[in-house]
Amino acid sequence: MTQQTLTLQTADGPMHAYRVAPDGAGRLPAMLVIQEAFGVNHHIRNVCHRIAEHGYVALAPELFHRTGHGLDLGYTDMAQVMPHFSTLTNAGIRMDIDAGLAALRADTRVDPARIGVIGFCVGGFSTVLAAEHTDAKTFVAFYGGGILRARPNIALTPLIEDAGLIRQPILLIFGGQDQSIPPEDVKAIDERLTALGKAHRVVTLPDGGHGFACDDRAAYHQPSSDEAWKVTYDWLSRHL
What's the rounded Cα separation, in Å, for the pair 161 and 140? 19
CA geometry: angle 178, 168, 191, nearest 5 deg: 45
36: left (phi over 0), alpha (psi -120 to 50) or beta: beta
Give the amino acid at 109.
Answer: R
Q: What is the DSSP letter of 218?
A: T
**Catalytic residue annotation:** 121, 178, 210
- Strand order of the β-sheet with 2-10 is 2-10, 13-21, 57-61, 28-34, 110-120, 138-142, 170-175, 200-205
